[in-house]
Homo-oligomer: A and B are copies of this chain.
Amino acid sequence: MPKATLRDVAERSGFSITTVSHVLNDVPGKRIPEATRERVRAAAAELAYTPNRLAQGLRLRRTNTLGFISDHIATSPHAGQTILGAQDAAADYDCLLLLMNSGSDAELENREIQALRDRQVDGIIYAAEYHRVLTPPAALAGVPAVLLDARPADAGFSSIVPDEVGGAATAVKELIDHGHRRIGFVTNITDIPATALRLAGFKKALKTAHRHFSRALVVEDISEAHGGFRAARVLLDRQPADRPTALFCFNDRMAMGAYQAAAECGLRIPEDVSIVGFDNQELIAASLRPGLTTVALPHYQMGQWAVHALMRTVEGSANGSLRSEVMPCPIVRRGSVGPPPRS
């Protein structure tokens, strides 16, 4: 005789599978008459029903834990707020967050995803340290999952990334609104989505303001302070008539280098040159003197969004409706932008 199932107990007792499940699993807080409970238990005993613990975990009972797997977020200084946002949102669902860090090691990542699945997490957030286009690992197949700060190369996953174009346009508009006409772009030389998208935003803001885009005002280098210093020197060493009166920098680290370049050129910020960054990396942006006006990567909000999207899938209310969200990057004003110097 095949093993009795919950469905068999339901049929024998005459109650719904849900009721039978609630009784046999002693789910608290359910108002089920004692007579019903007795009939269900009697039917279960007659059929020698024993619960399938695995199925129980899968079907009836969530573990109220979400997996959060990332390449480097937990170990890098850049995107920790993502975890905080996800954690706070998870608390809304009474869920805990189990974090794993793969260090971009594909084999380790697979073992970690398997470990999360073994522990029956209700779903998994797959998060990148910075905006990437990627092919999610096969190990994610069949478990509710959402991509964070990453877009899938193919469809198949909901995902959220920052609005790089809009953020860059916001930064440049801030400079245009202060009256700047010659705006330099100190940007990243690496071929990642943010590089192309922030350049697109730079051009977009100029176009909106009916300004010409000049390739001569764009200088690329590595996206660190040293690269920012070198690129900014290229722009600020020019004769005053050709020198930009403002710099938009690819990130706050390059902006830190631009501050150093301005100081070596004897230019004050913002009196002689205005500077805007990108990322709102507090450790730098709030520590520079004057404070750096920049555009915030919405790490916290992306973490929140990812959990809400994941829970919609877990709760079955979003089957088949994948979403690709782009999260706005708001400006954070400090003290590095002023009107252009009078020439």
Contact = CB atoms under 8 A, between A and B. Distances in A.
Given A75-B83, A83-B101, A287 B225 contact: yes
Contacts of A283: 77, 253, 281, 283-284
B101 A100 contact: no
Interface in A274-307: 281-284, 286-289
B99 A111 contact: no
Nearest to A74: B74
Nearest to A68: B99
Contacts of A253: 283, 287
Interface majority SS (helix, strand, loop, mixed), chain A: helix
A100 B103 contact: no
Contacts of A75: 80-81, 83-84
A31 to B, nearest CB: 14
Contacts of A80: 74-77, 80
Contacts of A226: 287
Contacts of A87: 101, 103
Contacts of A115: 65, 96, 98
Interface string A106-138: 001001100100010000000000000000000
Contacts of A83: 74-75, 101
A103 B303 CA distance: 15
A74 B129 CA distance: 13
Given A77-B283, A256-B287, A287-B225, A100 B96 contact: yes
A168 interface: no
B77 A77 contact: yes
A159 B342 CA distance: 61
- CB-based closest 8 A-B pairs: A77-B77, A225-B287, A99-B99, A75-B80, A74-B74, A260-B289, A75-B84, A75-B83
Interface of A: 65, 73-78, 80-81, 83-84, 87, 91, 96-101, 103, 108, 111-112, 115, 119, 224-226, 229, 253, 256-257, 260, 263, 281-284, 286-289
21 contacts: A74-B80, A75-B81, A75-B84, A77-B282, A77-B283, A80-B80, A84-B103, A91-B108, A96-B111, A96-B112, A97-B101, A99-B99, A225-B286, A225-B287, A253-B283, A256-B287, A257-B287, A260-B289, A281-B283, A284-B284, A284-B287
